[in-house]
Amino acid sequence: MAIIDGRNRCGMTVGKRLKDNPDFPLRRSIKCGKCGGHLSGGWSRGRSKRYAYYVCKNRCGAPSIKVTVLKDSLIEFLTEYTPPKEKLELFLMLMRQRFNQDIAQLRTKREKAEQEIAQLKQMRITLGRKNMEGVYDDEYFREQKKDLDGKITDWESVLGSTVYDTKYTMDDIEKFMRAKFEDLGRTYDKSEPGEKRVLLGSISPNRLAWQYSGLSNQQFSAEYQAILGVQPNQNALGVTEGS
Ligand SMILES: [Zn+2]
């Protein structure tokens, strides 16, 4: 499936391939709400035992975050922002519409290219015959043939651009979305590191931000904000309360 493979489909942006660090799975998936920088991981020696924490890579002065605190907050956050079933259905319906429109457009474009190529090839055959019959001289033949060859190449590249991945149907994608969006918090918790990034990337291509008391919903993609009915806040990043 495209989404699982990490390719871009249906407007979902998927992060670059990253080295997984099991101790700090979120270090590049969540950003600092104060400056927008990456979080990096570190170990601290507490009074009795050492603990893992994230800290802003820019050392912008924002406090460190315990790994367990960020993980638990994220799961709770995702559970809270799981779209209600009827909204997910609407989202899927819109996705299916867009998918079908895209396919229909590609089909029309392909048919047109195929027609043009067939016509041009027929013209090339006629041209060759008239040259052999002595109707067209060699110079005219060469000029016309070059012109036709160029047009055929152009239409062939149009034809090439209409090839789409038929490996996954919209049904596969819907099935995946339904399963994954049942409860995002639980899905996240159970997923592999790569899937976790895909999941977070699908709802927040620009990465969620830790606002030093919790995660902000303002980094959700516009589509996802629309499904959830989140009110956009222009001051979402850079304004941090209590830090
Ligand atoms: Zn920062």
59-114 tens-digit pLDDT: 999 999 999 999 999 999 999 999 888 888 877 787 778 778 888 898 999 999 99
With bands split at pLDDT 50, 70 and 90, how would you rate the model's confidence at 233?
A: low
Q: Hey, where are the domains in the chain? A: 2-7+23-82+184-228, 85-160
Query: From the CA of 169, how far away is ligand 1's center (Å)?
Result: 42
Judge contact between 26 and 199, C-beta under 8 A.
Answer: no
The reply to whether the predicted model has a pTM over 0.85 is no
CA distance readout (Å), 228 to 55, 90, 158, 200: 30, 11, 39, 15
Q: How far is the CA of 38 from the centre of ligand 1 (A)?
A: 7
Q: How far is ligand 1, taken at its centre, from the CA of residue 243, in Å?
A: 11
Q: How far is the CA of 205 from the centre of ligand 1 (A)?
A: 19
* In contact, 189 and 23? CB cutoff 8 Å: no
Mean pLDDT of 121-133: 97
Q: What does the DSSP 8-state code read for residue 55?
A: E
User: 22 CA distance to ligand 1 centroid (A)?
Assistant: 22
Question: Minimal CA–CA distance to 117: which of 79, 83, 155, 81?
Answer: 155
Alpha helices (H) along the chain: 2-5, 67-80, 85-132, 138-160, 170-180, 184-190, 193-203, 222-228
